[in-house]
Structure 1
Amino acid sequence: MRKYLLSALLALPLPALADPAMECSDTGSQIELRDCLKGDQIRANAALSQALGYAREAAADLDDTTGRQSAGPALEAAQQSWEAFRDAHCDFVGATFGGGSGTGITILSCRISLTRGRVEALMDHAG
């Protein structure tokens, strides 16, 4: 089983293995690490906004082509559900730190990772 898991992990693209906190780890203090992550979060959110715009355009085009109004509303419902999941999941991940000093960093890192994954998923359906 481990052999297959290792093979699967090695087959993933490098960004899939990246941890945002590790990307910023050479910054020094926790304050500098948090500032680096906040910058990453801003960039991830900007990419999400752009990808969501592309996905909305593709959904509108599909709805126009088919004469139905299903892709656009489905995308909006999925996005709202995803945002709720991201926030709840990352709050859970942060709670596992028991209020320790790394809690905020862990939550930021979680949100960045999930947002990057959402960008990728949206781009798969953006036309």
Structure 2
Amino acid sequence: MRYTLIALLFSSAALADPTLECADANSQVEIGACVGEMEERVNLALEASYGFAVQAAKELDEVTGRVVAQPALESAQSAWEGYRDAQCEAVGASYGGGSGTGIAITACRVDLGRARVDELLRFAN
């Protein structure tokens, strides 16, 4: 059930550079829109997989009688979000303010988001 929902939200069939996945795009505007749509799907997958991971952490805490797993997961998620934002801003800064800056930042967020979904789903199992 969990993976069915994720599969609907996030197709992992093509995990190349997000900008290369926009092969039908003919301009930077179209590439930007394409990677923007990818980021929306990744964000939905992140939300769903984080929800699964939180539920698994709650269950673990209940079984063990400790309240450790859920707070640790919440802390890790917060730290990951900070890392993602800083890393992708650094990627964008490497473009020197050029016209591809926004695309590069969004593609970075897609890449890191996809990896985080995988990590969260492993935690949820």
TM-score scaled by length of structure 2: 0.88
Question: What is the aligned partner in structure 2 of residue 59 from structure 1?
Answer: 57
How has the CA–CA distance of structure 1 residues 14 and 47 changed in structure 2, closer, same or farther, with 3 Å as cutoff?
Answer: closer
Equivalent positions of 1:1-127 (< 5 A) are: 15=14, 18-127=16-125
Q: Supply the RMSD in Å over aligned alpha carbons.
A: 1.4
Cα distance per residue 1:61-110 (max 9 Å; x no partner)? 00000000000000000000000000000000110000000000000000
Between structure 1 and structure 2, the one with the greater Rg is: 1
**Secondary structure of the equivalent of 1:97?**
coil
- Where is the helix percentage greater, Structure 1 or Structure 2? 1
Number of aligned residue pairs: give it. 114
**Secondary structure of the equivalent of 1:21?**
coil
TM-score scaled by length of structure 1: 0.86
Give distance in 1, aligned partners of 2:65 and 2:14: 38
Report the Cα offset of residue 14 of structure 1: 7.3
Report the Cα offset of residue 15 of structure 1: 4.7
